[in-house]
């Protein structure tokens, strides 16, 4: 904190020379206030304590929308409302896995979203081991008939989360591939980087015409143990009991709130998070913290007076199970005058990099934002900003400018979609650094009249 304060003071003259903002919207002052912020902690603590897990389409997610509307109204935002839509809903049931032979023992497992059911009596079958997803893909069609596929991988921690894109497909598409090759079921090494005995859930999807098979994720220690059992060279049998259900169309919804700007012609900034979570933990890092960060930053802008651009908050529903909320928002609001989109959905650890996708004419604005973020230890990346899952639809529909504030993901996949996603994993000081970064960006963009119109797509 002392180091950050010193850096802020040293950078103040430079920032003021490049910023034509009123004193109440000065990014230096906002950073100092945001580094003492309690609003974000209050939101993430309240949502995880008073609601807890918020699986999409369930009664708990409905209670979360009621809670969110009341909280956003109490914070002073305008036009607060819930916008509902219907979505297919999956819920989990019993979950056990047992090595029947050669070395009988229980394994920690959780069902993947959209998994089929074994039925209450379970399924016992021989297991075929695939060290990688590529090995499963190479298996001959029909070779897995009546068997359980086991797919492993070597996911490692990375600051930018890139290992998820590399190894997540074992979960994203592995079950569909196994089903098409005749497998009776599939278990995978969890898409995660921890060594706790906590399996990681998450969605999987089956193509039209492919019957969903039982699909579960083993905790990483259990997956490694199963690999060692295979290394003994003996046939392996598992008994699985996974009894999830698809309960049909249920109501979900987005919660929306606004900080109205003084010049609607400039186009609004939409800042997003997702309100739903998986059911194993309380969704503190994924994504109560994202809602807390974005909302607290907008509240700091509100405290400085009315900005020129409207800031719209989107607390999206049903992101985890198919980005239903983001798609619904994109369709319902494609005619609204948006200018720029941002999202926070990668935990609560410190922001280390900023990336832009702005029109060429706004390069000076990008430079100004990057300079203002330097005192917070945030560097400028070279990749184009792409936005998060919940703003993808509105970005595509409206061809929007985007700014990404990239959080440190080194420990994110230790916690992601596990029972360990709880409030104690949120570091209050790192949470405040996020709020300070978001407040800085919003203070500049929301008070700029720069033309953010993106060039037409070729």
Kindly report, residue by residue over 368-387, the tens digit of the pLDDT. Answer: 999 999 999 999 999 999 99
Please tell me the predicted confidence (pLDDT) of residue 26: 84
pTM over 0.85? The answer is yes
Domain-embedded: residue 155: yes
pLDDT greater than 50 at residue 279: yes
For 101, the domain range is 93-243
pLDDT at res. 237: 98
Note whether 346 and 263 are same-domain residues: yes
Among 86-90, 284-288, 302-306, 453-457, where is mean pLDDT lowest?
453-457
Asked, for residue 169, whether it belongs to a domain, the answer is yes
CA dist 20 → 192, 308, 443 (Å): 45, 13, 11
Residues 72, 295 contacting (CB under 8 angstroms) = yes
Residue that has been written with the tokens 């407040």 in this structure? 439
Tens digit of each residue's pLDDT (9 = 90 or more) over 422-432: 999 999 999 99
Q: Taking residues 248-277, what's their average pLDDT?
A: 97
Residues 191 and 114 in one domain: yes
Smallest CA-to-CA distance from 244 within 211, 276, 283, 216 is with 216
| 432 is a domain residue | yes
Mean pLDDT across 440-447: 97
Q: Tell me how many domains the chain contains.
A: 2
State what percent of residues in the chain have pLDDT above 70. Answer: 95
Residue 325: inside a domain, yes or no? yes
Tell me which of 13-17, 161-165, 210-214, 441-445 is least confident.
13-17
Q: Determine, yes or no, domain membership for 29.
A: yes
Final residue of a structural domain among 226, 243, 260: 243
Question: What average pLDDT does range 296-309 have in this prediction?
Answer: 97
pLDDT over 90, % of the chain = 93
Residue 241, beta-bridge partner list:
96
Q: What is the largest CA-CA distance in the chain?
A: 73
Predicted local confidence at residue 57, as pLDDT:
98
Mean pLDDT for all residues in the chain: 94
- Burial class of 169 by CB neighbour count within 10 A (0 to 12, 13 to 18, 19+): middle
Rounded Cα distance between 70 and 15, Å, is 36
Is residue 197 domain-shared with residue 338, that is, in the same domain?
no
Q: How many CA atoms lie within 13 A of 81 on its CB side?
A: 4
DSSP string, 328-346: HHHHHTTTS-EEEEEE--S
List, in order, residues 6 or more apart from 420 with CB less than 8 Å away.
194, 196, 198, 281, 414
Tokens of 127: 């297991």
**In this structure, is residue 179 part of a structural domain?**
yes
How many Å apart are CA 326 and CA 287, to the nearest integer?
14
- Indicate if 262 and 185 belong to the same structural domain: no
pLDDT of residue 193: 97
Quick: pLDDT tens for 5-36.
333 333 433 333 333 344 477 888 889 999 99
On whether both 211 and 353 belong to a single domain, the answer is: no
Mean pLDDT of the 335-356 span: 98
Residue 287: is the preceding peptide bond cis (ω within 30°)? yes
Res 6: pLDDT: 36
Cis peptide bond prior to 318, omega within 30° of 0: no
pLDDT surpassing 80 at residue 72: yes
Asked whether residue 299 falls in the same domain as residue 433, the answer is yes
**CA–CA gap between residue 294 and residue 435 (Å, rounded):** 7
Residues 358 and 441 in one domain: yes
Burial class (CB in 10 A: 0-12, 13-18, 19+), 341: buried
Distance CA 285, CA 320 (A): 13
Which CATH number do you get for residue 149?
Answer: 3.50.30.30
User: Distance between CA 110 and CA 201 in Å, rounded?
Assistant: 6
Same domain assignment for residues 253 and 235 = no
Alpha-carbon distance 120 to 112, whole Å? 17
- pLDDT tens digits for 202-260? 999 999 999 999 999 999 999 999 999 999 999 999 999 999 999 999 999 999 999 99
Q: Beta strand 185-189 with 237-242: parallel, antiparallel or unpaired?
A: unpaired
């Amino acid at each position: 904190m002392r180091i950050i304060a010193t850096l802020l003071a040293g950078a103040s003259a430079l920032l003021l020379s490049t910023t034509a903002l009123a004193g109440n919207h000065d990014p230096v002052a906002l950073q100092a206030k945001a580094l003492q912020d309690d609003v974000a902690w209050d939101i993430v603590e309240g949502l995880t304590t008073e609601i807890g897990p918020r699986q999409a389409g369930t009664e708990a997610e409905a209670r979360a929308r009621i809670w969110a509307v009341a909280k956003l109204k109490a914070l002073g935002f305008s036009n607060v409302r819930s916008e509902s839509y219907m979505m297919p809903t999956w819920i989990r049931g019993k979950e056990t896995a047992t090595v029947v032979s050669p070395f009988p023992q229980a394994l920690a497992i959780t069902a993947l979203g959209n998994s089929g059911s074994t039925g209450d009596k379970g399924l016992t079958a021989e297991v075929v081991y695939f060290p990688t997803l590529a090995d499963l893909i190479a298996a001959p069609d029909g070779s897995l008939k009546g068997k359980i596929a086991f797919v492993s991988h070597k996911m490692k921690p990375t600051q930018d989360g890139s290992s998820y894109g590399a190894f997540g497909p074992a979960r994203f598409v592995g079950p569909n591939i196994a089903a098409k090759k005749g497998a009776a079921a599939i278990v995978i090494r969890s898409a995660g980087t921890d060594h706790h005995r906590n399996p990681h859930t998450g969605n999987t999807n089956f193509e039209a015409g492919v019957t969903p098979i039982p699909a579960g994720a083993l905790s990483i220690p259990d997956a490694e143990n199963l690999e060692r059992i295979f290394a003994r060279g003996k046939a392996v049998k598992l008994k699985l009991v996974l009894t999830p259900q698809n309960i049909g169309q249920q109501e979900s919804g987005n919660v929306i709130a606004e900080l109205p700007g003084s010049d609607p012609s400039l186009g609004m900034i939409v800042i997003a998070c997702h309100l739903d979570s998986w059911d194993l933990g309380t969704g503190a890092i994924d994504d109560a913290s994202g809602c807390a960060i974005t909302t607290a930053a907008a509240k700091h802008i509100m405290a400085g007076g009315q900005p020129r651009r409207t800031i719209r908050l989107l607390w999206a529903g049903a992101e985890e199970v198919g980005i239903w909320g983001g798609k619904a928002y994109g369709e319902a609001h494609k005619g609204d005058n948006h200018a720029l989109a941002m999202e926070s959905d990668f935990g609560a650890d410190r922001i280390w990099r900023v990336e832009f996708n702005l029109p060429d004419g706004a390069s000076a604005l990008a430079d100004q934002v990057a300079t203002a973020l330097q005192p917070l230890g945030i560097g400028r990346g070279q990749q184009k900003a792409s936005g998060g899952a919940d703003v993808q639809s509105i970005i595509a529909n409206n061809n929007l400018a985007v700014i990404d504030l990239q959080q440190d993901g080194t420990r994110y996949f230790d916690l992601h979609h596990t029972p360990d996603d709880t409030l104690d994993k949120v570091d209050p000081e790192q949470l405040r650094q996020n709020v300070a970064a978001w407040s800085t960006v919003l203070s500049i963009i929301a008070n700029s009249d720069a033309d953010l119109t993106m060039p037409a797509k070729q």
